[in-house]
Structures are given as structure tokens and as C-alpha cells.
Chain A
């Protein structure tokens, strides 16, 4: 090996140090870039040549750069982002509903419910009094408006939930198409290369996957060519450079269902914010909204039953105090129509019913709350089907796919209102011969507040409502606790990711010094070699 070989060794040292300095600078520059994985140079010994003293080294080569990355932690992170997203959505939605029932600042039904029954006590104490009767009507109106604003508070939350699902579906589609295009770029860059060399693109894709996982639950796997397949609800969202669009469709209950590739995947999505929103929506509908409506329906039913039996100051009887309960029947059939009415208020269970048909033209009426069949028989168009104080008439041709629902609750709050306008018609008396001083009926109604109500599981109105408040508060509490938990777990995992992939400025500073020194040494080597050559030339 000639003296010039020394130049080459010096050059290799300079180049290696320069590359290392570039990688270090890039790390420093990206210290705050989210999702950035730090890189390092891989230095190796240049192939030695055989010389007089045996094999001699020829310097250093940069054989590549390395991305500090742990795919196991990354996949754990994605799973945790999904949990976090779900908890976040649940916490957010439940705490909104909770505000509707915020009894700590006396927003809620308890005050107006108590005031209403107290107003009946006052009427009982002075049944002839015009003032007491007027106050009663005012308290009743207050109860009505309170119940209505609570229902609309819950309905607003549900509406927002559906809108959010819709908005998130759009965001998911845009993330999906970004992932697809990154997939294509990664495949291009990495074709022919040893392994995952498209670091920046992969970091970007991981970032998108992280964001996607806070939105929706998915599974993913990486193909050998480096592209990633993302599946939501067992359907492909992204596959290579292709995407399927996630869309929402309004279902029969007025809620947004998720469709991917034309298939309804609503029930298969549990994680991510969308999964949380779907779960929260279902919980609210079958929980707080249902219970609130049932409470109001029960108040309407019990008060009206007593009130219609009493007599007003003008001797009139049979007057409803609140607007009578109305059944809402819904028709999920093409060839048949339904009409329904309440025939016996006292027999009403305040449950919801579903009417279905089998292939041999039999009908089945199922109580949706208990799940049991309350009545069944052969279907004849126009015949009366009677059960639990309700009469239903279905006309037309039915098929096994047809379905009807009958609910005394859907409109219980929507239709809730004070039917009495004339104070004279408030039925404080139990008999028309004992007017005007008879307060028996007023006392009976006032005492309803303490009576156990069969439709409410033998609790009284206030206890049922307290149960509702504690259920709502408990759900909100549980959601915020699990959000806290998921947040901590997510933090731990991201710290573990950071420990491997994050940039430490101190470390990079040390690298900076280290490679600066090696660069200086390489330069010095060239200088020395030059002097050596000078010496030889000057011989």
C-alpha cells in the first residue's frame, strides 16, 4: 500500500464524520417533531487490503443509517390510542348528559317535582283557594318545562354524537387516503432496498395510524413490500394504495350507522372515539333518556288517573290534569299499516312493544323491556290486538320481514303539558256533593309523591329519579376514571416509545462533539500525510 492510501483513510474518516454529523443535526432539528424516530449512522470497517505486514485496514465506511424504532411498542400504542379514544368519547358525552342532571347546582327535576306535589298539599289545605290553584298550575308548568328542557338537553347530546360520528367518518376517510398514498411511496422507495429505509415516510404513516386509532378501532398488518393493510370492522379500509370509503347512514331509530364497503359495521366498532360515541349513544338512549321518559310517563299516568276520578269546583269530572299519554307506533313494513290506542290507562305497563310476524302469518307482540311475548295469534287484517291496556289494529298484508313498534314513552315528554287551564277544573274533591271544601282527592294526589309506583319497580317518583341521577353520575364517574386510567397508560407507553425513539439533546450534543473531533482528526491525518509526501518530494 502506498502512502496515498493514507489520504483515502483520511478521506473515509472525514466522510463518515460528516455523515454522522448530518444525522445528528437532523436528529437535533427534529427534537420536537411528533412521531419522529431518531436515527443513527451505522459505521463499519472498510475492507482491508493485503500488504506486506498482512491485512491492513483501509478506513471506515458508512454502511447505512438506523432508525431507532420498536414495532411492538408501536402496536401497543395503537391499541392504547383506541382505548383512550373510546374513554375520551364516553367521558365527553356522559359528562354532557350529566350536566342535564346536575343536582349539585339544583339543575334537574327534583326541585320542580317536589314543588309540584307541595302545590297539591297547599290546594288540599285550602281547596277553595284560587291562589293555591293558580300556583299549582304554575308549578305544573314549571315541571313540564323542566322535563322538556332536560329531554332536549339529552337529545341535543345525541344529535351532537351523531354529527361527531359523521365528522369522524370524513376524517377517517382522509387519513385512509393519506395512508394509502404513503403506502405507495414507501413501496417505491423500499423496492430493492434492504429493509425499511423510508424512515420519514414510515414515521409519517405511524403518526397517521396513531391519529386513526384515536378515532376508530382497527387491526392492521404490514405486507412484505412495506405497505400496510388497515381493517375496520373486519373490512378493508386501506389495502396497499386502495381505500374503501367509510360512510354513515341514518337507521330506523334516527341514528347514524357506519358502513364500510357497503356493509353495516356499527356493531363491530367498539374502540376509538367512534366506538365510544356509539356506545355512549346507546347507553344514553336505553338509560337516562328512557328512564326520564318513563318517569314523566308515570307521573302523567298516575296523576291523570286520580285527577279524572275527582271533581273540580265547577262540578266537572273526568278531566285530565296533564295531556293524556299518547302511543307512538312505528311502521317498518311495506304493505301494512298500524293504528294504536290506549284503552285502559291503569293496565298500562309503560313498556315498549314490538310486533313481529312469522311465515305462517302469526303475529307476536313482544315486550321490549322484558323480552317476553305478551300475546300472539293468527293475523287477520283489521282485527284488534289487545294487550296490557293497549289496542292495536293492523291492516294490510304482512310478511315475516315486517315489524311494528308501539311505545307509550317516545312522546311522553314531547307531548307532556298541562291540560287544565281553568283553575275551577282542578279536581281537589272526591265527590261532587261535597264541594267546595272537599280536599280528599287533592290530598290523594299530594300523597302520590310518597306512594310506590308499580310501573317504576315499586319505588316512588323521587327515589326513581334519585336512582336515575346516581346512574348518570355513576356512568360519568366511571367514564372519567377510565379516561384517567387510559391516559396514564398511554403516557407510560409513549414514554417507552420515547425512550427508544426520542431525541435526547444531551446525547446529540455529545455526538456532535464526538464526530466533530473525529472530523478534525481525519483532517489532521490528511495534513500529516501531506507533510509526509512533502518530505519525500524534498528528498
Chain B
């Protein structure tokens, strides 16, 4: 092949140009710390990186949701440990009331405990009545009748791709009774007490004479606060039978409060596990993301050095080749 000056020139220009391009790409990698400047530099990598960053982002969102859930549940947990304390004080008062002489005097103390329960039932957290279901804008329990006013709305949050968890505790459940069938107890004096399931969470109580038919007294309640209120009035009116009848619901209330605490505890544990999993997963994803996206600075630097050497050699040889000309030897 004939070699002409233009060919040598073009070939050298192209080689230098290519090496410079390479150099610039490496320089960009070093300064941005990223392998690709634009999606077409690494099509699959870009899409993978998008996927990873979406998953990381989702995990961050789940973590925010979880933190929010933890705060709510911890609050409910705190309330119920106080509810438990109050309930055991009520139980003590009731037991004391069975034998005490000055029952009406105790009534006021019990009324205070009732108000305390009402206060707990109507707990507010960040301006929401936490035990009202979806009706977070109204008091969970009526301050006069102590009836539940909320609804049965369960507030779920997403804590994983396919995982959601309720973050609220319903007042209608947590403060109330679930009686599925009639229960009967006989007192030492032969009196029968019937606990009959009524509508909703209502429990109708009938105190019957030894013949188990004559109804001596009847009343009903549907939640702890109403039981506390009934105890207060029973003490006030020296009604020992009623006090005896209320011992069972008080026991059940304590159990219920413990159940609720156990349940929130379980949920908190679940959230804790989920947080751990999400953190691990996020770390993995971040590593994958970094592997896909980030340029290794050491490697890049070495490659820059190599390119520099190549460029120097290229320039040196270019100068040598172009400076050779027969014209120089003409006299």
C-alpha cells in the first residue's frame, strides 16, 4: 500500500483522539465516582441500579412506616400498663369493699379510679384519639355513659412489600368483654350470678336467689369503665351482692389488659424483626447498587496512568514519524 503524508497524519490524529477520549472518560469516572455517565454507557447496569435504588427507597419508606407504628404501639402499650395498675387497684378496692364498714367512703376513691380509666380510654396521641378506630376525631368513650363511640376501623400500614400491620388498638375491643355464652357462678350463700351475653360487647348480669329463678338484681356493662362505675355505685349503696358480682369482670379486665399488652408486645417484636430484616436487606442492596454504579477509584487511577503512558508513547512516535522527511535531505 502506498503511504501518504495525509494517511500518517489522519492515523496519528485518530489514535491521539481515541486515547484522549478514553482519558476524558476515565477522568470523568474519577471525578464523578461513577462508572457510567449516561444510561447508554451501561444499559443493563443503569436499569439494575434504578431497580436497586427503588428497592432501597421502598425500604426507607417501610422503615418510616415502621417507626411510626412503633411510636403508636409503644404509646398504647404504655397506656395499658397503667390500665393494668388501675384495674388491680379496683380489684383491691372491690375485695376490701366486701368486708369494709365504710363502703360509701370508698366509693369516691373508686370513682376516681373510674375517671382514670376513662382518661386512659380517651388517650390522645398527636391530636388523635388512639382507641377510636378511624374516628380519631372523637373521644373513644362517652364521658357520661362511658359507651364506646368510635368505630371498628383498623389502621394498617405497609411494613414490607406484601406485609401490612395494624398500628392501632380498638377501644371497643381492648376495654371490653367478649362473652360468647352464658356463665353462671354460685356464691357461698347459694346466690346465683348469671352473666348473659347481650348485643355487641354488652354483658347482662342477673343476680338470682338460691332457687336460680327469682331475679334479685340485674344490671349490664360493656367495658371496664362501666364496671368501675358500677363498683363505685355499689359501694355507695352498700350493695355487697353487686360488689361480689363485679369481681369476675374485674378479673377478666385485668386479664384482657394483659392480653392487649401481650398483643402490642408481639406486634412490636414483629416490627423490630422487620426493621432488622429491612436494615440487612438495605445494606445488601446498597452494596449491590454501589457495585453496579460506582467506579473503583484505584482501578480508575491505574487505568488513567496506563492511558497516560500510551498517550506519551503515541505523541513521541508521532513526532518522530512526522519529522522524518526526504525533503530534509534535499540540497
Contacts and interface: CB of A to CB of B under 8 A. Distances in A.
Contact of B133 (A437, A472, A500): A437
Given A98-B38, A125-B64, A470 B47 contact: yes
Given A125-B68, A499-B2, A103 B49 contact: yes
A393 B6 CA distance: 69
Contacts of B329: 509
A435 interface: yes
B202 interface: no
Interface string B32-51: 00101111111110110111
Contacts of B127: 128
Given A118-B57, A473-B43, A437 B4 contact: no
A513 B69 CA distance: 95
Contact of A506 (B61, B64, B128, B325): B325
A290 interface: no
A317 interface: no
B43 A470 contact: yes
Contact of B2 (A101, A469, A502): A502
Contacts of A127: 155
B47 A466 contact: yes
Contacts of B151: 433-434
Given A95-B38, A446-B158, A110 B325 contact: no
A104 B155 CA distance: 38
A339 interface: no
A512 interface: yes
Given A104-B41, A472-B39, A513 B155 contact: no
Contacts of B161: 450
Contacts of A506: 325-327
Contacts of B37: 104-105
Contact of A469 (B39, B53, B134): B39
B39 A102 contact: yes
Q: How large is the interface on A (under 10, 10 to 19, 20 to 34, 35 or more residues)?
A: 35 or more
B155 A439 contact: yes
B27 interface: no
Interface stretch (A7-15, A324-332, A474-482): A474-482
Given A99-B38, A439-B156, A498 B6 contact: yes
A443 B156 contact: yes
B48 to A, nearest CB: 9
Contacts of B11: 495
Contacts of B323: none
Contacts of A440: 156
Contacts of A535: none
Interface string B106-148: 0000000000000000000011100011111100000000000
A102 B38 contact: yes
A92 to B, nearest CB: 13
B32 to A, nearest CB: 8
B137 A110 contact: no
Contacts of A101: 39
A461 to B, nearest CB: 10
B58 to A, nearest CB: 8
A124 B156 CA distance: 8
Contact of A125 (B7, B43, B157, B326): B157
B4 A128 contact: no
A436 interface: yes
A151 interface: no
A97 to B, nearest CB: 11
Given A110-B50, A121-B61, A499-B2, A509 B7 contact: no
B54 A505 contact: no
A462 interface: yes
A104 B38 contact: yes
Question: Interface centre among A104, A469, A472, by most B CB within 10 Å?
Answer: A104
A438 interface: yes
A515 B37 CA distance: 58
A429 interface: yes
Interface string A480-504: 1000000000010011001110111
B60 to A, nearest CB: 8
B38 A128 contact: no
B164 interface: yes
B57 A114 contact: yes
Contacts of A505: 5, 325-327
A207 interface: no
B234 interface: no
Contact of B136 (A437, A477, A504): A437
A41 interface: no
A450 to B, nearest CB: 7
Interface of B: 1-7, 10-11, 14, 34, 36-44, 46-47, 49-51, 53-54, 57-58, 60-61, 64-65, 68-69, 126-128, 132-137, 151, 153, 155-158, 161, 164, 167-168, 293, 325-327, 329-330
Given A437-B168, A470-B39, A499-B3, 17 more contacts: A32-B6, A98-B39, A104-B42, A125-B64, A125-B69, A125-B157, A125-B167, A437-B153, A438-B134, A439-B155, A443-B157, A447-B158, A494-B10, A495-B7, A495-B11, A498-B6, A506-B325
